[in-house]
Homo-oligomer: A and B are copies of this chain.
Amino acid sequence: AAYAKGRPGEDSAWVEQHPASSCETRVYDDYQEMLEKESLEVVGVCLPFFQNPEASIAAARRGIHVLSEKPAATDLSDLARLEHQVRQSGIQYSIMLNMRTLPIFRAARQAVQQGAIGEPILISSQKSYKYGAKRPWFYRERKTYGGTIPWVGIHALDYMEWVSGQKYTHVAAYEGNKAHSQSPGCEDHAGLLLRLANGGTATCHLDLLRPEAAPTHGDDRLRIAGSEGVLEVWGIEERVRLLGPRGKSGDLPLPPAVDFFTAFVAELRGESQPLVSSVEAFDITRTCLKARDAADTGTWVAL
């Protein structure tokens, strides 16, 4: 195995301490050099976000499978080039939508699929994180960070669709930065309004305003009101509560968690279906970038 630094001067001492590291693990200053010298089957891509699509394209060109940080790209033209290269190369590509591994979202998805709330009609969600003292330099500008909708909102937009089984058709959005003016590209609040293909509605709100002293980093929530009942997912409490049609209500039992990396390797070996397919990875990234456009332009945008 090999590791390439995000930039030449990076301190990579931690790599040697990593359980996956061995005496044969090579460290490179540059991913291009690593790709040339090593014979790799799969790479994990996690650079400053704007650099992820170029690195993924470089790997794909060599026929190397890619598991990338989300979003797949921070602008639509990079995304189109990446999609083209992944299709051409025939590699397997996925992004780290790791919330799909959580028992709470898996239980909720299964309940919806089993008809526990009838047809999903109104979906709402919350992502709330601490800003954190250690945001790296590339969070400061839109060009390098991409924006809070593609970086944070992508989880909520993904689990709203994945749990409900409903697709978005249009998006309106608004966002801004009021509490962290040193990072103008890192919006600290955003709201999204989406139309669903079945005529239903979705809303989502995001923030990086959670107090630093709060007991958890995040506070994820999902609610789906359907034609027959209401389902709610509470991240901090790790609870999924169902309010069913005939007063039948209570917490759902939770299945075991799935390991994201193990699942990706199983996919590569043909042992299982993708947890996040390349089509899904590109679609949800495109949705986020169009939602960012909707916020930038103050218009509804078709998806």
Is there contact, CB below 8 Å, between B247 and A189?
A: no
Contacts of A212 in B (CB 8 A): 245
Q: Among B122, B179, B189, which residue has its beta carbon within 8 angstroms of that of A189?
A: B122
Contacts of A244 in B (CB 8 A): 211, 213
Let me know if A147 is at the binding interface, CB within 8 A: no
Interface of A is mostly: strand
Let me know if A300 is at the binding interface, CB within 8 A: yes
Let me know if A246 is at the binding interface, CB within 8 A: yes
Which of A52-60, A75-83, A193-201 sits within the interface? A193-201
Residue of B nearest to A232 (CB): B219
Let me know if A119 is at the binding interface, CB within 8 A: yes
Considering the complex, which residues of chain A in the window 244-287 have a beta carbon less than 8 Å from any beta carbon of chain B? 244-249
How many copies the complex holds: the figure is: 2
Let me know if A163 is at the binding interface, CB within 8 A: no
Contacts of A195 in B (CB 8 A): 174
Which one of A121, A174, A213 has the greatest number of beta carbons of chain B within 10 Å? A174
Given known contacts A178-B198, A178-B227, is B209 in contact with A121 (CB within 8 Å)?
yes
Residue of B nearest to A245 (CB): B211
Chain A interface size band reads: 35 or more
Let me know if A67 is at the binding interface, CB within 8 A: no
Contacts of A190 in B (CB 8 A): 122, 201
Separation in Å of the A204 CB from the closest CB of chain B? 8
Contacts of A214 in B (CB 8 A): 243, 247, 249
Is there contact, CB below 8 Å, between A191 and B203?
A: yes
Q: A172-B193, A174-B201 are in contact. List 4 more A-B contacts (CB 8 A).
A: A124-B191, A191-B203, A193-B203, A210-B225
Q: Which residues in A have some Cβ–Cβ distance to B below 8 Å?
A: 118-119, 121-122, 124, 126, 128, 170, 172-176, 178-179, 188-195, 198-205, 207, 209-214, 223, 225-230, 243-249, 298-300
Between-chain CB contacts (< 8 Å), 12 pairs: A119-B179, A121-B178, A121-B189, A128-B230, A176-B200, A178-B227, A179-B227, A192-B203, A203-B203, A211-B244, A299-B299, A299-B300
